[in-house]
Structure 1
Amino acid sequence: MIIRRAKSDDAQGIAEVHVDSWRSTYQGIIPDDFLDNLSVEQRTELWKINIAKEGNYVVVAENNAGQIIGFADAWKRDSNAVENASDLTSIYLLENYQGKGIGKRLFQAQFAHFKKMGYEKIFVEVLEENKTRFFYEYYGAKLVQTVQIKIGGKILNELIYVWEKVDDVIEKIESR
């Protein structure tokens, strides 16, 4: 298993994980017709832009065969006006690779980046029904706000969490 920074030619592999993991993670949460219409081609174009965009930090997890099986990305959202802060914008893994510590390694890579960049506070947004929120809570994220968003015509609760100190998260990751 390799965790490394994404390159432009990783866009399709990231898009495949993105679409597949949305379909498995959000089944029964987001309407099926929305999930069925997700496009690897469209997501590939999105990821080409995301990887190239200044300020974005995208890492991938590769299995031993060199296939991208997960990714995580981080950048400061336009809505984040907090000084010395950034956002963990996603962590996704193919379902068969979940529960094996790979998500933790992607998370660790992002927090090492946050520390290197001098960020103190890190925000993450997660759907209330997404079990990943418990992973974030385990590593010390505190719920600061709940907002409603619409995806596929359905109103969903999105939880906004914050980690107040990057060093505290790194310490907890390393102690486990």
Structure 2
Amino acid sequence: MIVRKATIQDAKGIGKVHVDSWRTTYKHIVPAEYLSKLSYEQRTQLWTQQLADKTKYVLVAENELGDIIGFTSASKRDSNPTPNSNYLETLYLLEDYHGKGIGKQLLKAIFHYFHEKNYQTIFVEVLAKNKTRHFYEHYGANLIKSLEITIGGKVVEELVYEWHDIEETLEKRM
């Protein structure tokens, strides 16, 4: 398994992981109808645009066959609430690869990017009923607020976490 910087050619593989991981992770959290309407083509198009955007930083994890099995991305938002901050926008992994340390490798790799860029604060938004929120808590993310968002016509709770010390997170938690 390797983690590497994504290229535009990875859009299709990222799109597939995005759809498949949403369908397993958010089953029973967001409406089934919404999940069934997710399409590989639409997500491939989305990731083609994301990968062309130079303000985004995207990494992929590949298995031994070279198939993309996970990805993570970061971006600076216009609405960043704190100076010198960034967002961990995504971290998705196919369900068959959960519990094998791949998520940790993706998180560590993106935190090295944050450290290189001298970001001081990192934010991540996670649905409250998403069990993987405990993954972020384990690696030192602190809950700062809760808000309601609507996905597929259903109101769900979203939690916002932050990390304040990138270097300490890398040294002591990963």
| TM-score > 0.5, shorter chain as reference | yes
Note if 1:8 corresponds to 2:8: yes
In the TM superposition, what is the alpha-carbon distance from 1:78 to its structure 2 partner? 2.6
One-letter amino acid of the counterpart of residue 144, structure 1: I
Q: Where does the alignment leave 5 or more consecutive residues of structure 2 unmatched? A: none
Instruction: Find the counterpart in structure 2 of residue 112 from structure 1.
Output: 112
Question: Where do residues 106-145 of structure 1 align in structure 2 (5 Å cutoff)?
Answer: 106-145=106-145
In the TM superposition, what is the alpha-carbon distance from 1:82 to its structure 2 partner? 1.3
Contact map agreement 2:140 2:173 (CA 8 A) in 1: no
Q: Following the alignment from structure 1 to structure 2, what is the Cα–Cα distance between the partners of residues 9 and 81?
A: 33
Q: Following the alignment from structure 1 to structure 2, what is the Cα–Cα distance between the partners of residues 162 and 27?
A: 26
TM-score (ref. length: structure 1) = 0.97
Q: Following the alignment from structure 1 to structure 2, what is the Cα–Cα distance between the partners of residues 29 and 20?
A: 15
In the TM superposition, what is the alpha-carbon distance from 1:84 to its structure 2 partner? 1.1
Question: Where do residues 36-55 of structure 1 align in structure 2 (5 Å cutoff)?
Answer: 36-55=36-55
Q: Following the alignment from structure 1 to structure 2, what is the Cα–Cα distance between the partners of residues 11 and 47?
A: 5
Percentage of identical aligned residues: 53
Instruction: Find the counterpart in structure 2 of residue 77 from structure 1.
Output: 77
One-letter amino acid of the counterpart of residue 33, structure 1: E
Q: State the SS of the aligned residue for 2:54.
A: coil
Q: Following the alignment from structure 1 to structure 2, what is the Cα–Cα distance between the partners of residues 83 and 137?
A: 23
Q: Where does the alignment leave 5 or more consecutive residues of structure 1 unmatched? A: none
Q: Following the alignment from structure 1 to structure 2, what is the Cα–Cα distance between the partners of residues 152 and 86?
A: 27
Deviation string for 1:133-165 (max 9, x for gaps)?
101111111111111000000000000000011
One-letter amino acid of the counterpart of residue 90, structure 2: S
Runs of 4+ with >6 A deviation: none
Note if 1:146 corresponds to 2:165: no
Q: Following the alignment from structure 1 to structure 2, what is the Cα–Cα distance between the partners of residues 173 and 112?
A: 13
Deviation string for 1:36-71 (max 9, x for gaps)?
000110100100111111221100000010000000
In the TM superposition, what is the alpha-carbon distance from 1:172 to its structure 2 partner? 2.5
Instruction: Find the counterpart in structure 2 of residue 162 from structure 1.
Output: 162
| CA root-mean-square deviation | 0.8
